[in-house]
Amino acid sequence: MKKVHFSEWGIESPKYWGLLALLGVVIAISGGAAWYMEHNGHWVTGMTNQIVWGTPHVFAIFLIVAASGALNVASIGTAFDKRLYKPLGRLSGLLAITLLVGGLAVLVLDLGRADRLLVAMTHYNFKSIFAWNIFLYTGFMAIVAIYLWFMMDRRMNKYYKPAGIGAFLWRIILTTGTGSIFGFIVARQGYDAAILAPMFVIMSFAYGLAIYILVLLYAAKLDGREVGDKVLFRLKNLLGVFAASVFYFTLVYHLTNLYGTENHEYERFILLDGGVYTALFWIGWVFVGNLLPIALVYHPSIGKTRGGIIAAATAVVLGGLATIYVVVIGGQAFPMAIFPGKTVLSSGFFDGVNGQPFLYSPSLPEVLLGIGGLALTLLLTFIGIRVLQFLPVTLSDEAMDPHHVKS
Count CB atoms within 10 A of the CB of residue 84.
19
What does the DSSP assignment read for 194-233? TTHHHHHHHHHHHHHHHHHHHHHHHHHHHTT--B-HHHHH
- Interface of this chain with other proteins, residues 171 to 210, rule: CB under 8 A: 181, 184-188
> Which one of residues 3, 154, 158, 342 is an interface residue with other proteins (CB under 8 A)?
342
- Interface of this chain with other proteins, residues 37 to 66, rule: CB under 8 A: 40-43, 46-50, 52-53
Q: Using CB under 8 A as the criterion, what x/- string covers residues 13-42 for binding other proteins?
A: ---------------------------xxx
Instruction: Please name every residue paired with 392 in a beta bridge, in sequence order, or none if there are none.
Output: 6
The interface region with other proteins, picked from 9-17, 75-83, 154-162, 344-352 by CB under 8 A, is 344-352
Give residue 55's Cα distance to chain centre: 14
Residue 405 binding other proteins, by CB under 8 A: no
Q: Which are the contacts of 16, defined by CB distance < 8 A and separation ≥ 6?
A: 9, 382, 386
Name the 3-class secondary structure at 155. helix
Q: How far apart are CA 169 and CA 72, in angstroms?
A: 11
The interface region with other proteins, picked from 146-154, 263-271, 280-288, 351-359 by CB under 8 A, is 351-359
Q: Which residues of 128-154 are buried (b: 16+ CB within 10 A; e: fewer)?
A: ebeebbeebbeebbebbebbbebbbee
Q: Which is nearer to other proteins, 351 or 397 (CB)?
A: 351
Closest separation between CB of residue 216 and other proteins, Å?
Answer: 34
Q: Which is nearer to other proteins, 14 or 348 (CB)?
A: 348
Q: What is the dihedral of CA 166, 169, 171, 174, to 10 degrees?
A: -120
Q: Which is nearer to other proteins, 72 or 257 (CB)?
A: 257
Q: Which are the contacts of 301, defined by CB distance < 8 A and separation ≥ 6?
A: none
- Interface of this chain with other proteins, residues 320 to 339, rule: CB under 8 A: 332, 336-339
Q: Which is nearer to other proteins, 110 or 267 (CB)?
A: 110
Closest separation between CB of residue 382 and other proteins, Å?
Answer: 31
- Interface of this chain with other proteins, residues 354 to 373, rule: CB under 8 A: 358-359
Q: Which is nearer to other proteins, 9 or 334 (CB)?
A: 334
Q: Are 364 and 102 in contact (CB under 8 A)?
A: no
Q: Which is nearer to other proteins, 192 or 397 (CB)?
A: 192
What does the DSSP assignment read for 92-151? HHHHHHHHHHHHHHHHHHTSTTGGGHHHHHH---TT-HHHHHHHHHHHHHHHHHHHHHHH
Q: How far apart are CA 168 and CA 172, in angstroms?
A: 6
Q: Using CB under 8 A as the criterion, what x/- string covers residues 208-247 for binding other proteins?
A: ----------------------------------------
Q: Which is nearer to other proteins, 168 or 182 (CB)?
A: 182
- Interface of this chain with other proteins, residues 89 to 148, rule: CB under 8 A: 111-114, 116-117, 119-120, 123-125, 127-131, 134
Q: How many amino acids of this chain bind other proteins (CB under 8 A)? A: 53
Q: Are 322 and 251 in contact (CB under 8 A)?
A: no
Of how many residues is the chain composed? 407
Closest separation between CB of residue 187 and other proteins, Å?
Answer: 4
Q: How far apart are CA 187 and CA 234, in angstroms?
A: 42
Name the 3-class secondary structure at 300. coil
Closest separation between CB of residue 110 and other proteins, Å?
Answer: 9
Q: Which is nearer to other proteins, 49 or 301 (CB)?
A: 49
Q: How far apart are CA 41 and CA 148, in angstroms?
A: 40
- Interface of this chain with other proteins, residues 288 to 327, rule: CB under 8 A: none
Closest separation between CB of residue 26 and other proteins, Å?
Answer: 25
> Which one of residues 3, 301, 307, 345 is an interface residue with other proteins (CB under 8 A)?
345
Closest separation between CB of residue 338 and other proteins, Å?
Answer: 6
Closest separation between CB of residue 58 and other proteins, Å?
Answer: 14
Interacting residues with other proteins (CB under 8 A): 40-43, 46-50, 52-53, 111-114, 116-117, 119-120, 123-125, 127-131, 134, 181, 184-188, 332, 336-351, 358-359
